[in-house]
Structure 1
Amino acid sequence: MSPGPLDGIRVLEVAMYGFVPSAGAVLAEWGADVIKVEHAITGDPQRGLRQTGALKVEGDPNPNIEHANRGKRAIGLDMSKPEGLEVLLELAKRADVFLTSFLPGHRRKFGIDVDDIRAVNPKIVYARGSALGPRGMEAEKGGYDMTAFWCRAGTAATITPPGIEGMIGPPGPAYGDTISGTNLAGGIAAALLKRERTGEPSTVDVSLLGSGLWAMGHTIALTSHLNQLMVQPSPGVHGSPINPLVGVYETKDHRYISLVMMQPTKFWADVCRHVDREDLIDDPRFATSASIAEHTGDAVAILREVIATRTLPEWSERFATLAGPWAPVQDTLQAAGDAQVLANEYLVRAGDLDLVANPVQFDVAAPHTGPAPGFAEQTDEVLEELGLDWDRIIELKTAGAVT
């Protein structure tokens, strides 16, 4: 097994829930040694998450903790006790990255803010994940991906069609957390490169709000320039009003196919051949971009009728040679079994679970990963690496500083 690009990098993670821990998970899959610091008694509150919507997990493994904590080691530590903080600072001395989700007030309270950590390790990269960014009147406030990423940054309002009461929610748990965590991991990697080249450490900030805006960046640029909102069509509407090859079509088995061929004249003849309607190739209604735009309704009606005559597996076989981009509309179970997903090893084995790997591959290989640690599972191992003998470890446990 070849080492990852961050092999030898040590990350000290003092974080909870999904966002910042998912950054640590990405760094671990890139080869870093990530030590997860959890409260000595309560641990990461995410460990208690068993129910998300209608889905409930009984027993272990629990995907709600595994997804964002794969491949790490865990230590149970109470930073509010002087002995616990002493251990934390000893770990920080040996780390390349200090990664935290704690709010500014709590960082100051526990003595783990930038200046505190840099006092023991001047070259450490200090990385902070926040809800609303490090500046402004609300920098001290917390938040979740639902509030800061999904609602406040514009996705919820943009994805909800007119006439629907309320809003459409995120498609699943930790949606904005995971995207934002990958952003934070990338920022940390860039800061490590800067430190290697210049010797200067950085303070890295990524927020759920900033990540949500970035995800909507094209839309925000477009709507701000035109001073018009992007209005979502009602469900069931075909798609483009000027291009029959950009839209969704239902198959005989009530599945859906998405066609996205932005240049209709380039792909029209090929589509006609694949749906056994060669008679439409030279139809003057579909000869030019202008005529296709004018007669999109006719083309959509024809394609709806013909695509409804075969099942998705039948169309998938036929469309294997289709020149233009298309895709089956898949749920998460179908996506997890997709042959192309499996061929690229986008799912990796982590203990007893198959987890989606972080999306970056190096040297055309999937990352190697492991399961999330049990609560405080490597506490003794990590303390021994600090050079503490068993008498001192027992003292720390008796004092409640470590688990």
Structure 2
Amino acid sequence: MMNVAFRFQAISRRASSGCSYNYNVWRRVPLRSYSSAVSPLSDTLPLSGIRVLDMTRVLAGVSPYCTQILGDLGADVIKVEHPVRGDDTRAWGPPYAQYEDPSKTGPGESAYYLAVNRNKKSLGLSFQHKSGVEILHKLAKECDVLVENYLPGGLKKYGMDYETLREINPKLIYASITGYGQTGPYSNRAGYDVMVEAEMGLMHITGARDGAPVKVGVAVTDLTTGLYTSNAIMAALLARARTGRGQHIDACLSDCQVATLSNLASSALISGKKDSGRWGTAHPSIVPYRSYKTLDGDILFGGGNDRLFGVLCDRLGFPEWKTDSRFVTNSDRVQHRADIDGMIESTTQKKTTKQWLDLFEGSGMPYAAVNDIQGTLNHEHVQARGMVTEVDHPACGPIKLVNTPIKYSEATPGVRTPPPQLLVNTPTRFWGGILEYSEADIARLKEEGVLS
């Protein structure tokens, strides 16, 4: 216990000196939230004092999502970008958040970039130059975590591979996120979410029962890999507090996608049989358990047992279905799936979704409207939980962002700072405080094209 306590004290001392280099720039940004929660205080956040070097490019959206999670939890994230064009996602639009200053050129800040880069600081730097690599080496020495998403071996020629940086900082936790991992026959393939969804089983089980395989509506393999990797990084930080050593984390989309096949993979492994394919919103073993058309949309019911099926029958106005020999048990209903689903949908189409929601309120029956994205973001429960936040962007004014989802009793993670702008000068305190560079050094590096 003494070693663990000492480690966190050491982090705290370093954070109070080096990590505060951008404090005056970023703490002045007012944060407004739709919830009643107070603005997050950095010194109460779980990862306060942890410094992250974010060397991710958007070959996979998973990587900036991973480092954003760390930033939400209080880590000080330094995002390394190309000194001229920045992260590729800055150009992924429309839509864009428009600049308030009409004299400022360009379409604005892309919504895609804004989605995965809050709570970070941008550093425009080229490591094609030897001087750029020297800067990164100095940063790596002062960081707790490095996250990168280059193909295996891609950073070795710059001296930014794990083996090199381990010699510089043995405590460094180095996370590599790729499409197919550091080993295996596909390790040198570039991996995009949709390709991995296809090859690793998810696309095959997604879509209508009689339809073609489709990708999930968001890049879910990217997102789950980001979650797995951020979790692995935090576990490695705990291990380092115990052992004093860092380590290399090998995370990839393909492994995480196989892992998230979950019960379907288990069923296939145990039975040795082919899976049952796509089911749309339906369930292979429970009926009724799917969405049904209403007069103006869709509603989903989950009749997970005989009692809930009875509630459904009563609220729909057909209590006699409960004693129909075709529907008495779940096994009966699975056998006569088409009959009961057809009867339910012919009924739900007679009222609006809102009318059905009101009718089932308080029934104990699992039910839900099928909302679009705007309907979700304006949902009363989403608003009450503070899942939409507004922050003042220095160039675009007030912008709305999705908030971090986890609530703590002793801390308030959230959007402390907006996603950083490109080509906004990094404060001198950063160079003098962490890297001990003078203003003359900075001027020279800018002239050489190393810094933006």
Contact residue 120 and residue 419 of structure 2 kept, 8 A: yes
Contact residue 177 and residue 250 of structure 2 kept, 8 A: yes
The answer as to 2:270 corresponding to 1:229 is: no
The answer as to 2:75 corresponding to 1:27 is: no
Range with bigger deviation, 191-200 or 270-279: 270-279
Pick one of 173, 191, 214 that aligns with 2:259.
214
Kindly, what percent of the aligned residue pairs are identical?
26
1:60–1:102 distance in 2 versus 1, CA, 3 Å: same
1:71 Cα deviation (Å)? 1.2
1:122–1:395 distance in 2 versus 1, CA, 3 Å: same
Helix, strand or coil at the partner of 2:250: strand
Contact residue 123 and residue 426 of structure 2 kept, 8 A: yes
Range with bigger deviation, 366-375 or 61-70: 366-375
Amino acid at match of 2:51: R
1:185–1:291 distance in 2 versus 1, CA, 3 Å: closer
Amino acid at match of 2:84: I
1:154–1:337 distance in 2 versus 1, CA, 3 Å: same
Helix, strand or coil at the partner of 1:106: coil
1:185–1:318 distance in 2 versus 1, CA, 3 Å: same
**Match for residue 121 of structure 1?**
169
Amino acid at match of 1:262: G
**Match for residue 8 of structure 2?**
none
Helix, strand or coil at the partner of 2:356: helix
Contact residue 96 and residue 109 of structure 2 kept, 8 A: no
TM-score using structure 1 length: 0.89
Alignment of 1:176-215 (within 5 A): 176-215=221-260
1:355 Cα deviation (Å)? 2.5
1:79–1:283 distance in 2 versus 1, CA, 3 Å: same
**Match for residue 373 of structure 1?**
420
Contact residue 37 and residue 77 of structure 1 kept, 8 A: yes
Deviations 1:78-122 (A, max 9, x none): 112121111111111111101111223321111100122122211
Helix, strand or coil at the partner of 2:154: helix
1:33–1:242 distance in 2 versus 1, CA, 3 Å: closer
**Match for residue 10 of structure 1?**
51
Amino acid at match of 1:32: A
1:346 Cα deviation (Å)? 2.3
Helix, strand or coil at the partner of 1:397: helix
1:261 Cα deviation (Å)? 2.3
Contact residue 14 and residue 37 of structure 1 kept, 8 A: yes
In the alignment, the residues of structure 1 paired with residue 184 and residue 335 of structure 2 have an alpha-carbon distance, to the nearest angstrom, of 50
The answer as to 2:350 corresponding to 1:309 is: yes
Contact residue 287 and residue 330 of structure 2 kept, 8 A: no
**Match for residue 258 of structure 1?**
300
Helix, strand or coil at the partner of 1:112: coil
Range with bigger deviation, 55-64 or 31-40: 55-64
In the alignment, the residues of structure 2 paired with residue 47 and residue 96 of structure 1 have an alpha-carbon distance, to the nearest angstrom, of 27
1:56–1:98 distance in 2 versus 1, CA, 3 Å: closer
1:385 Cα deviation (Å)? 2.9
Alignment of 1:3-152 (within 5 A): 3-17=44-58, 18-50=61-93, 59-148=107-196, 150-152=197-199
Aligned residue-pair number: 392
Range with bigger deviation, 111-120 or 240-249: 240-249
Contact residue 379 and residue 402 of structure 1 kept, 8 A: no
TM-score using structure 2 length: 0.79
Helix, strand or coil at the partner of 1:69: coil
**Match for residue 342 of structure 1?**
383
**Match for residue 390 of structure 1?**
439
In the alignment, the residues of structure 1 paired with residue 411 and residue 378 of structure 2 have an alpha-carbon distance, to the nearest angstrom, of 19
1:271–1:38 distance in 2 versus 1, CA, 3 Å: same
Contact residue 361 and residue 367 of structure 1 kept, 8 A: yes
1:209 Cα deviation (Å)? 0.9
Amino acid at match of 2:233: I
1:353 Cα deviation (Å)? 3.1
The answer as to 2:308 corresponding to 1:267 is: yes
Contact residue 256 and residue 329 of structure 1 kept, 8 A: yes
1:35–1:376 distance in 2 versus 1, CA, 3 Å: farther
**Match for residue 20 of structure 2?**
none
**Match for residue 409 of structure 2?**
363
In the alignment, the residues of structure 2 paired with residue 302 and residue 164 of structure 1 have an alpha-carbon distance, to the nearest angstrom, of 22
In the alignment, the residues of structure 2 paired with residue 206 and residue 89 of structure 1 have an alpha-carbon distance, to the nearest angstrom, of 23
Amino acid at match of 1:322: S
In the alignment, the residues of structure 1 paired with residue 419 and residue 62 of structure 2 have an alpha-carbon distance, to the nearest angstrom, of 15
**Match for residue 7 of structure 2?**
none
Amino acid at match of 2:88: P
In the alignment, the residues of structure 2 paired with residue 294 and residue 161 of structure 1 have an alpha-carbon distance, to the nearest angstrom, of 19
1:372 Cα deviation (Å)? 1.0
1:244–1:162 distance in 2 versus 1, CA, 3 Å: closer
Helix, strand or coil at the partner of 2:376: helix
Deviations 1:293-334 (A, max 9, x none): 455444333322322221111111122212121211122121
Helix, strand or coil at the partner of 2:361: helix
In the alignment, the residues of structure 1 paired with residue 450 and residue 203 of structure 2 have an alpha-carbon distance, to the nearest angstrom, of 43
Alignment gaps of 5+ in structure 1: none
In the alignment, the residues of structure 2 paired with residue 304 and residue 4 of structure 1 have an alpha-carbon distance, to the nearest angstrom, of 48
Contact residue 74 and residue 374 of structure 1 kept, 8 A: yes
1:378 Cα deviation (Å)? 5.1
